[in-house]
Amino acid sequence: MSTRDSHAGAAPDAGTRERIAGLEKGLAIIEAFGASRPRLTLSEAAQVTGLSRASARRCLRTLEHLGYAEFDGKYFRLAPRVLRLGHAYLTSTPVPKLVQPVLETMSERSGESASVSILDGTDIVFVARSTTRRSLSVGVGVGTRLPAYCAATGRVMLAAGTDAAAREALRAMHLRKLTPRTLTGMGELLDAIRAARSQGYAIGDEEIELGLRVIAVPVVDSAGRTVAAMSLAVQAKRMTRDEMVKRLLPVLEGGRRMLASAL
């Protein structure tokens, strides 16, 4: 008997009863698109999402009808209307609006690019950013997602919980090397998260992009909950890890104090 069959006679719980399967499938289709998959055929969309061709087709055609997707006869791609979804989050959530002037002040003081990220599942997502001419990383902006396990911001947010919670979160992630310096071992990642917890900051040393170092601190609200992470990025050739702690950590701490009364 299959797992599905074994539960056929069981009454669904409240959470299952209140879910709309069609909406779940539609959102899965939207999330299937990205920088590495800017356009998808029907077969590719079905494969990426795990949906049947029929379900993927209905979702894509519905998104096309609503203006969220475009179709050229072979490929589907997202339409600009999708930006409404991200814009709705940014305008309804106080953190991006509160931190933007703080990030700009930090960038001006340090001469480096400043960012704020949140944890979303296995990724960190940039929700606010202030860049400088020195910025090394290209293609990183509001809405960009990066793996949490190798991002300094991800580690300080994972450090807010227990070791057990961090271990469970890491097990859900695809731990792969983005650069030769990326940590991927469970033990070494847990050590890095513990270090972030004890120090109050984390440093990503060329783990996401060669030549880029990032230092991050947690952003805590009035209830003591870690709601985001704030970071500064620097070209590795211009600043050592020790220099980052000496010169950039005070800037981050200053930014965090500026936010303390507002969150």
pTM of the model: 0.72
Where are the strands (E) in the chain, listed by range?
69-71, 76-78, 113-120, 123-130, 145-147, 202-205, 212-220, 226-235
Contact 43, 37 (CB under 8 A): no
Considering the domain architecture, whether residues 103 and 175 belong to the same structural domain is answered as yes
Considering the domain architecture, whether residues 61 and 135 belong to the same structural domain is answered as no
Query: 3 lies in a domain?
Result: no
Range of the domain at 42: 13-84
185 burial via Cβ count (<10 Å: 0-12, 13-18, 19+): exposed
What value, to the nearest 5°, has the Cα angle with vertex 26 and ends 23 and 29?
A: 150
- Domains in the chain: how many in total? 2
Query: 7 lies in a domain?
Result: no
Considering the domain architecture, whether residues 41 and 128 belong to the same structural domain is answered as no
C-alpha 37 chain-centroid distance: 17
Contact 152, 204 (CB under 8 A): yes
The model's pLDDT over 16-71, given as tens digits with 9 standing for 90+, comes to 667 778 888 888 898 888 767 889 999 999 999 999 999 999 999 999 999 989 99
Considering the domain architecture, whether residues 137 and 106 belong to the same structural domain is answered as yes
- Give the mean model confidence (pLDDT) for residues 171-197: 95
Query: 158 lies in a domain?
Result: yes
The model's pLDDT over 121-152, given as tens digits with 9 standing for 90+, comes to 889 999 889 887 655 555 677 888 899 999 99
Q: Give the span between the Cα atoms of 236 and 247, in whole angstroms.
A: 14
